């Protein structure tokens, strides 16, 4: 497929996709499902003080993170307030349990049937997690005076509604994956991030008195997007050669070939950021229940909330963001090693007749791959840690308080956009591939 002159490759892929009826139908299905999701996200639960809820979001970073994974629905506390976050939690739990539980490890090695079974278990785990998280959110909002009704029946109805909203969002995401374009779960989160852009632009307009800071803020955002693209695509190619004997027509033939294993610099994705943020938020969340109200003398709980606040001024701000930086690096190594060990590349290569030139198959290959992934993970971990502290850096450099550089949201948005465009190009290549008949 030839690219027309003067047009970027990704833009040309989008234009070419609309010329094919089946791809155009997939685009329209994806767009229609996202519109349905945005509509559901704006259907609020009864009895919620929306003004007080918006004020709470300004003070609680945990709710801001949950709102990110709900696709923006939690800010209205609608029926889809939790979005797909319980499903993401269930998926992470399953990934961590697979190397620990022998039965799950055996299922993971059974190919497509095993992955389907693990996916089914993940779906079943999503429902109780959604109910538990829904009840926790209702309890939190009641403590803040946002929900006044405390009777049992309305509480059960709200928990069931929130759980059903999560299952509905997961179903919409899988419908996009099956009949649309891209990964549906990721696109739902992406849609919520993009939907929040107009509000962010409006806040930037209100901050127009600081034009120089606003300009630097925009430059930092664009530079961060470029760095995210570079590290998302960065990988180390491990050369692999294959040599095996094949019986054809009663004769033994020896086949050989070469390829490579792409080991990503950032194999962990955004998961370390979620883990680290959860750890950093936990102390202040617990302390908020024991702190004294404004106007009274602060106690130790108020001090903990001050220390573990992302809005803390210097030097406390350095302590919070420094710990955040270190936790991201630690979780990046932990999660990468867990996932890499599940792949079991050395055994797979040996079983398929492949080997790395200069490295003996088996244990030595496994040691070599572990050394390589450890070295390149340093780059990915430092990259994620820098992404994590970019809101603090942008705030201190630009002095624009009306805007917050949502680095996690930008990381998700860029990653989803790149993955979706790759799938579009793959679909185009599959439909327009011209082979030769011999």
Whether residue 327 is contained in a domain is answered as yes
Residue 149 predicted with pLDDT over 50 = yes
Residue-level pLDDT at 223: 84
One domain, residues 247 and 326: yes
Whether residue 416 is contained in a domain is answered as no
Averaged pLDDT, 341-349:
80
Whether residue 135 is contained in a domain is answered as yes
Question: Which residues lie below 8 Å from residue 355, measured CB to CB, with a gap of 6+?
Answer: 240, 241, 243, 349, 361, 365
Question: What is the Cα–Cα distance from 259 to 356, expressed in whole angstroms?
Answer: 10
Residue-level pLDDT at 250: 54
CATH number at residue 295: 1.10.3370.10
How does residue 7 score in pLDDT terms, banded at 50, 70 and 90? very low
CA-wise closest residue to 353 among 246, 247, 425, 281: 246
Residue-level pLDDT at 218: 76
Instruction: Look at the block and give the residue holding tokens 């989160």.
Output: 189
The CA angle 66-291-277, to the nearest 5 degrees, is 30
Whether residue 435 is contained in a domain is answered as no
Averaged pLDDT, 241-258:
59
Confidence (pTM): 0.76
How does residue 211 score in pLDDT terms, banded at 50, 70 and 90? low
One domain, residues 41 and 149: yes
One domain, residues 152 and 259: no
One domain, residues 94 and 163: yes
Question: What is the Cα–Cα distance from 196 to 41, expressed in whole angstroms?
Answer: 13
Poorest-pLDDT segment among 113-117, 122-126, 148-152: 148-152
Residue-level pLDDT at 310: 72
One domain, residues 282 and 223: yes
DSSP class of residue 433 equals -
Give phi and psi for 236, each to the nearest 5: -105, 125
Q: Name the residue with higher pLDDT: 436 or 432.
A: 432
One domain, residues 128 and 235: no
One domain, residues 241 and 385: yes
Residue 379 predicted with pLDDT over 70 = yes
One domain, residues 224 and 164: no
One domain, residues 171 and 247: no
- Reduced to 3 DSSP states, what percent helix, strand and coil does the chain have, rounded to the nearest 5? 70, 10, 25
How does residue 329 score in pLDDT terms, banded at 50, 70 and 90? very high
- What torsion do the CA atoms of 283, 289, 290, 291 make, to the nearest 10 degrees? 90
One domain, residues 222 and 350: yes
Residue 252 predicted with pLDDT over 60 = no
Question: Are the CB atoms for 269 and 380 separated by under 8 Å?
Answer: no
Residue-level pLDDT at 182: 80
Poorest-pLDDT segment among 59-73, 234-248, 312-326: 59-73
One domain, residues 50 and 137: yes
pLDDT tens digits for range 193-206? 777 766 666 666 66
Whether residue 412 is contained in a domain is answered as no
Question: In the numeric block, which tokens belong to residue 97?
Answer: 């349990």
Whether residue 427 is contained in a domain is answered as no
Q: Name the residue with higher pLDDT: 128 or 270.
A: 128
The range of the structural domain enclosing residue 123 comes to 1-195
CA-wise closest residue to 81 among 124, 121, 50: 50
3-state secondary structure at position 303 = helix
Residue-level pLDDT at 333: 92
Cis status of the peptide bond prior to 175, with omega within 30 of 0: no
Whether residue 183 is contained in a domain is answered as yes
pLDDT tens digits for range 393-431? 777 777 665 555 567 777 888 888 888 888 877 777 776
One domain, residues 270 and 378: yes
Whether residue 287 is contained in a domain is answered as yes
If one counts the domains in the chain, the total is 2
Question: In the numeric block, which tokens belong to residue 377?
Answer: 């993970």
């Amino acid at each position: 497929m030839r690219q027309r002159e003067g047009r970027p490759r990704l833009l040309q892929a989008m234009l070419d996709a609309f010329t094919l009826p089946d791809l155009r139908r997939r685009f329209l299905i994806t767009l229609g499902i996202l519109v349905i999701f945005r509509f559901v996200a704006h259907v609020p639960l009864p009895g919620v003080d929306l003004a007080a809820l918006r004020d709470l979001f300004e003070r609680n970073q945990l709710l801001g993170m949950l709102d990110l994974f709900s696709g923006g629905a939690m800010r209205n506390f609608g029926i889809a307030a939790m979005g797909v976050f319980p499903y993401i939690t269930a998926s992470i739990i399953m990934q961590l349990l697979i190397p620990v539980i022998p039965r799950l490890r055996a299922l993971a090695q059974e190919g497509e049937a095993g992955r389907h079974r693990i996916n089914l278990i993940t779906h079943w785990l999503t429902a109780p997690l959604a109910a538990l998280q829904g009840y926790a959110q209702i309890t939190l909002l009641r403590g803040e005076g946002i929900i006044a009704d405390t009777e049992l029946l309305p509480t059960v109805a709200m928990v069931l509604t929130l759980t059903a909203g999560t299952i509905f969002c997961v179903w919409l995401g899988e419908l996009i994956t099956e009949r649309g374009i891209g990964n549906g779960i990721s696109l739902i989160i992406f849609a919520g991030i993009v939907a929040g852009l107009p509000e962010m632009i409006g806040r930037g307009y209100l901050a127009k008195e600081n034009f120089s800071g606003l300009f630097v803020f925009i430059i930092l955002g664009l530079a961060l997007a470029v760095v995210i693209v570079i590290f998302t695509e960065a990988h180390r190619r491990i050369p692999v050669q294959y040599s095996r004997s094949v019986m054809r027509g009663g004769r033994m033939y020896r086949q050989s070939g070469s390829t490579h294993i792409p080991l990503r610099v950032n194999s962990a994705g955004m998961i370390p950021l979620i883990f680290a943020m959860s750890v950093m938020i936990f102390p202040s969340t617990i302390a908020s229940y024991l702190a004294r109200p404004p106007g009274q003398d602060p106690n130790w709980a108020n001090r903990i909330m001050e220390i573990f606040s992302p809005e803390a001024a210097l030097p406390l701000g350095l302590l919070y963001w420094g710990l955040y930086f270190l936790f991201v690096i630690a979780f990046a190594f932990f999660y990468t090693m867990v996932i890499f060990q599940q792949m079991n590349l050395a055994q797979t290569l040996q079983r398929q007749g492949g080997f790395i030139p200069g490295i003996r198959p088996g244990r030595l290959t496994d040691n070599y791959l572990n050394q390589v992934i450890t070295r390149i993970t340093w780059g990915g971990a430092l990259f994620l840690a820098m992404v994590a502290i970019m809101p603090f850096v942008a705030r201190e450099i630009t002095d624009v308080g009306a805007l917050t550089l949502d680095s996690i949201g930008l990381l998700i948005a860029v990653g989803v956009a790149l993955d979706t465009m790759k799938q579009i190009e793959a679909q185009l290549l599959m439909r327009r591939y011209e082979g030769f008949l011999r």
